[in-house]
Structure 1
């Protein structure tokens, strides 16, 4: 028997709070889960800094990746024997689902922005590079790692396989919405996934939904909408992200200025220099980053020390609603006032924005074209784009919502002398 077809002598199961059980029968999947690169995902939180807002949000990319794998496994089970589904793609789909988040770094998107990195690029490097993951995938065939990378990168020739983990209704979203809702304790992210899985059908280049399942899909779309604004873009979480980002910017600035760190930033040096190797990247996880923050609290640089103390002890920035298009004059005055009173506005006056497009239909030629969700109509078997049949989805289709906040250290401002004219003016601008 080839390695590709090799099965475990006894099925392994992971107890899971969202799916009850994650089932593993393929030797390949079991071996991939045991690699150092996949086990590293236990040390990367799924929701970054959200644990400082929702105390239960301690779950990891490891949890989520197993969940996405399990959903794809169930979808494939339902697809087996149906037209358009090639069961030769089964193992490829499972491997891509399991490994799709392999390249996430510590605190994911905040970390990427500071160092201009792309987790998808690192996922590809792990899959194709000199890694344990690559060794296992290569045992299937010499071109199998490339196929897995292409599915994750959305360039694989079979678009149906790609759509399982990357579309507007995919296993990735269906897992993280439910998982994140469970661990944050909110009710918004729940929807009838079992119903959706039952009404999914494969066609030539994508998954479609039987029209009888439209209401379950409506619920899924609205769950996603609510989760983004109530959880993912929560202003307290964004405050923590702002501070995290400023810590990394400050540390890089100090390193570039030849500042003598009391605790040398060994794990960060290649990132500061823009020369991080795959090995450097894999060594850096969230416990390592948090350890540095603990140590940097004792640095002589007051800004780095203060920011690390704020993040470590959840002493976050205050925020107000802010519209940069209408309040730029006020922002410029605040910037000047902060400098006058000795508060560095580069680190302590931050405009942050979040935006989301909950559902979109196909718009040829536009950036980030989105393949819409299609309903398979009864009797005729015609495809209808979801928002043409659903008034609920139509009401939010193509509508991008953006939210702006201005973040600042209220304690620094309150500590200014009571008779300070600058203090009075800062408060007047911020709160009136």
Structure 2
């Protein structure tokens, strides 16, 4: 029996709080899970700084990746059972595509780094490109396992994640407006943050999914389940992913890494206690895949603990604020009040804070958000409903609920600053009182706290 078809003598199961059991039936999938590159995902949190707001959100990229695999497995089972291909090109499901779909689902996030999006911003990495490199580099265990199927198989799996694979059904399982990735992270994040409005009827959605020649559609009878999913996604972004305190802690993390980069790039602090040797290749923009795979959340957290004792007071203070959860405060601003920000920054400087590291403007409109909007310039796949006669119709044209929120997002613009600026006195130094009073007066007059 060829390796790619080899089934385990008895299926392996992983207990899971979202899916109950995750079923592993192929030797290939189990071998991929056991690679060092995949096991590294146990040490990278799924929600990053959001765990400092929602204390239950300690789940990892590892658990999410298993969940995406499991949903994809269920989709394949449904398609094989109800929509098996009878003749080539009939638009139905060819189960020979199962293995590439399952591997892409399992490995889609393997390139994420520690504190993913902040790390990418500071060090200009790209987790999607690194994912493809992990799959295709002969130096990785993942590549060796994939190559046991065929020499071309690693590239095939990577092409699914890169949205270049020739079968659109496989691509849309992993990356579309309703895909296994989004469905798992919404349910999983809702579970671990304790928020009920992020839930939706996964069983019903999987039941009404069906393949067609250009991808995946949904039976029109399942429209209300799809509506529920869209609303849940909208609510999770408003309430969880864009939470002001989570964004505040991400600002601190961003500035902490930026300060460390500037400190150590000069070489002046390169040999002090706690020097972040594993980060040096990133400070110098000369990292390779091996350097990248040495990093995880724990690596960075260990460096942060050392930096609390740094001779650089700004680096030490930012490390303290991040590790001990001392978020910056924030206020909303708009186009009419944003001209006040330079003056507020001047007051913060007079109070003794370096505005470069202790202030930030953060626009949630610019944060990653996949609002459903089929009319956008570069739309992702639309959500197509299949009618009884086989014709397709785009969801928002028949759903008043989805139409009402299509392309909409009630985001905000925020100015972040040290909480100390809201206190009446600083260390009983009367000299500072006018600065703080002036700062607070401007906030109350011009901003919404």
Question: What is the TM-score of this pair, normalised by structure 2?
Answer: 0.93
The answer to whether the 8 A contact 2:44-2:115 is kept is: yes
Runs of 4+ with >4 A deviation: none
Structure 1 partner of 2:311:
300
The answer to whether the 8 A contact 1:357-1:401 is kept is: no
Distance in 1 (CA, whole Å) between partners of 2:375 and 2:17 is 35
The answer to whether the 8 A contact 2:44-2:296 is kept is: yes
Structure 2 partner of 1:427:
440
Structure 1 position 403 matched with structure 2 position 416: no
Query: In the alignment, which of 173, 189, 196 is matched to residue 187 of structure 1?
Result: 196
Match runs of 1:30-429 below 5 Å: 30-80=30-80, 81-83=83-85, 84-129=92-137, 130-260=139-269, 261-323=272-334, 325-355=335-365, 356-363=369-376, 366=377, 368-378=378-388, 380-411=389-420, 414=423, 415-416=425-426, 417-419=429-431, 420-429=433-442
Distance in 2 (CA, whole Å) between partners of 1:121 and 1:137 is 18
The answer to whether the 8 A contact 1:362-1:370 is kept is: no
Shift of 1:358: 2.3
Distance in 2 (CA, whole Å) between partners of 1:39 and 1:171 is 21
Which has the higher mean CA deviation after the structures are superposed, 326-335 or 296-305? 326-335
> What RMSD over aligned residues (CA atoms) do the two structures have, in Å?
1.3
Give the total of aligned pairs. 427
Question: What is the TM-score of this pair, normalised by structure 1?
Answer: 0.96
Distance in 2 (CA, whole Å) between partners of 1:431 and 1:269 is 44
Distance in 2 (CA, whole Å) between partners of 1:45 and 1:357 is 21
Shift of 1:334: 1.3
Structure 2 segments unaligned to the other structure (5+ residues): 86-91
> Deviation per CA, 1:49-96, whole angstroms, max 9, x where unpaired?
111000000000000000000000000000014342111110000000
Structure 1 segments unaligned to the other structure (5+ residues): none
> Deviation per CA, 1:352-390, whole angstroms, max 9, x where unpaired?
111345211154xx2x42221000112x21100000110
Distance in 1 (CA, whole Å) between partners of 2:191 and 2:210 is 28
Distance in 1 (CA, whole Å) between partners of 2:247 and 2:118 is 10
The answer to whether the 8 A contact 2:348-2:421 is kept is: no
Shift of 1:262: 3.1
